[in-house]
Amino acid sequence: METIMRINGTVNSFVWGAPVLILLVGTGIYLTLLLGLPQIRYFCAAMAEVFSFRKRSERDDAISSFAAMATAMAATVGTGNIAGVATALYSGGPGALVWMLISAFFGMCTKFAEVTLAVHFRRRDSHGDWRGGTMYILQHGLGDRGGGWKMIGGVLAVLFALFASLASFGTGAATQANSAAEAMFMGWGINHLYSGIVMAVLVGLVIIGGLKSLSTVTTYLVPFMAIFYIIGAIIILAGNTVHIPEAFSNAVYLAFHTPEALPAGVAGWAIKEAIQKGIARGVFSNEAGLGSAPMVHAAADVAHPVQQGFYGIFEVFMDTIVICTMTALVILSTGTLMNNPDNLTGAQLTLRAFETTLGAPGKYILSVGLLLFAFTTILGWYWYAETAVTYLFGVRVKPVMKVLWIAAILVGASGAQFIGAEGTQFLNNIWDISDTLNGLMALPNLIGLLLLSFTLRGIVKDYEARKRNGEL
C-alpha cells in the first residue's frame, strides 16, 4: 500500500499540478476565443432557459433539460463547495478565491463545449436509453474520421471510461457517504452506522428506478439545497457586510502579490500556491474539463445540442461563481481564516465561520447543507458510474453496479468506525486515489475537446443559423 500511495502521490502532483491545470484553463481560453465568448453571448439565454423550469419530458426514453442539469448539479454542488473552498483558502491564501473565479469564467465555456458535443455524439444502448459523454465523443467524434483516428479515439474512450468508473466509487460514493455521516454526527450525534444504513436504503430506492427516478429526486432536491445553503450564507454575510469589501480587495491583492509577512524569497511560491489551489479546487468543484457532467446531459430531450450547452454555462456559474464565492466570503469576512489557532481546514474551517456569526444554529445549517450536498452527489455520480461501466461491459452489469454502489456507501459511512485508525487511513487512501483518477479523466476529455473544436464551432454556427431562420 505504501508503494501504491507513493506512485499515486507522484501522479496526483502531475494531474492536479501546473501542467494539467494550464491545459485545463488553456483549453477554456482557446474555446472561448474560437467560439466568440459563448459564456457572455449566451449568458442571458442560458438564464432564460434554466428559469423556464422545463422539468418534464414528453418522452419515456429521455429526461428534460432541466432534470439533466439538476442531476449534473447534484454531482457538482457537493462537499467541494464547503470543504474544498476552505481547503483552497487555507493552503493558497485568500488569493485562491480570485483564481478560482478566473478558472470558472473559462470553465463556463469548457462545460458548454463538453455538453454540446455530448448531445451531438450520443447513442442509445441496447435497452434504448440515451448514453453519451466523453467516451462517446472520442469514439464517434474521432473514430468516425477513419484510419488511425479510430484506434486513437477508441483507446482514449476506454481510458476515460476506466478512470471514471474507478474514480466514482471513491469520489462519488465512499467519501461522500463519509461526509454525510460526519455531518449527521457533527450536528446531532447520530451513529455513523445508522447514517450509512439510512443512506444506503434511500439511495437504493432512488437508483433502482433508473435515470427517470434519479432525475425526479434531484429536480426537487437540488434547488432546495442550493437555496437553503445560500440563504444561510447571506445571513452571515449580512452580519459582516462592513468586512466584505476589505475581504474581497485583500483576495484580489494577494492573488498577484506576496503577503508582506513573507520574505521575498518565497514570493513566487506564495502566488503559485494561490493560483494552483484556486484553480484545482475550482475545477474539482464545478468539474469543468473533467468530462463527468456530459454523461447525464446526453440523456436530455432537447431540440439542439447548443441549447443543452446553455445549462453547462449555468452550472459552473452557480456552483463556483455563486456558491463557492459565498463560502469563501463567509470564511474571509468573519476573520476565521486569519484567526485560526487550531489550524482548522476543510469542513471544520467552514463550520467555525458559520458558528462565529450564528452560534449553534450555524452548526445545524452547515450540517444540513453538508448532508444534502453529499447525498445528492452520491445520486449524481451513480449515473456517471453506470454510464462508464456499461460502456466498458454492457448493460448486463447494471444490477451488479447498484449492489456495489450501496456497499461503497456503507463502507464509506461507517467502515472506519469498526476498523479504527487503519480504517480511517484506508478511507483517506481511497480518497487520494480517487482524486488522482478524477484528475486523469481530464486528459482524454481535453484532448477530445481540442481535436473536435472545429466540429464544435460548426455545431454552434448551425444553431445560430437555425435560430435566425426561426427553426428553433
Residue 464 lies in a domain: no
Q: Give me the domain span that covers residue 118.
A: 2-457
- How many CB atoms lie under 10 A from the CB of residue 339? 9
Residue 388 lies in a domain: yes
Residue 412 lies in a domain: yes
Residue 355 CA to residue 349 CA, distance in Å, equals 10
At 420 the pLDDT is: 60
Residue 469 lies in a domain: no
Residue 195 CA to residue 198 CA, distance in Å, equals 5
- How many CB atoms lie under 10 A from the CB of residue 22? 12
At 423 the pLDDT is: 57
3-state secondary structure 213-279: HHHHHHHHHHHHHHHHHHHHHHHHHHHCHHHHHHHHHHHHHHHHCCCCCCCHHHHHHHHHHHHHHHH
Residue 189 CA to residue 274 CA, distance in Å, equals 36
Query: Three-state DSSP class for 123?
Result: strand
Residue 263 lies in a domain: yes
Residue 17 CA to residue 354 CA, distance in Å, equals 31
Contact yes or no for 89/278 (Cβ under 8 A): no
Q: Please calculate the CA angle 216-221-222 and round it to the nearest 5 degrees.
A: 105
Residue 472 lies in a domain: no
At 267 the pLDDT is: 43
Alpha helices for 319-359 (secondary structure H) = 325-333, 346-358
Residue 463 lies in a domain: no
* pLDDT tens, N- to C-terminus, the chain (472 residues): 788 888 988 988 888 888 888 999 999 999 999 999 999 999 999 999 888 865 554 455 578 888 889 889 888 887 778 878 888 888 888 899 999 999 999 999 999 999 999 999 998 877 777 889 999 999 999 988 878 899 999 999 999 999 999 989 888 888 888 888 877 887 788 888 898 999 999 999 999 888 888 888 998 888 899 899 999 999 999 999 999 999 999 899 888 876 654 444 444 456 777 788 788 878 878 888 999 999 999 999 899 999 999 999 999 999 999 999 999 999 999 998 888 888 877 778 888 899 888 888 888 888 888 888 888 889 999 999 999 999 999 889 999 999 999 999 998 888 766 666 565 677 677 778 888 888 899 999 999 999 999 999 999 999 999 999 988 8
Residue 39 lies in a domain: yes
Contact yes or no for 49/128 (Cβ under 8 A): no
At 270 the pLDDT is: 62
Distances (CA, A) of 90 to 45, 250, 258, 354, 419: 37, 15, 15, 16, 30
- Grid cell listed for 18: 501546473
- How many CB atoms lie under 10 A from the CB of residue 291? 30
390: left (phi over 0), alpha (psi -120 to 50) or beta: alpha
- The enclosing domain of 441 has a CATH number of 1.20.1740
Query: Three-state DSSP class for 63?
Result: strand
- When divided into structural domains, the chain yields a total of 1
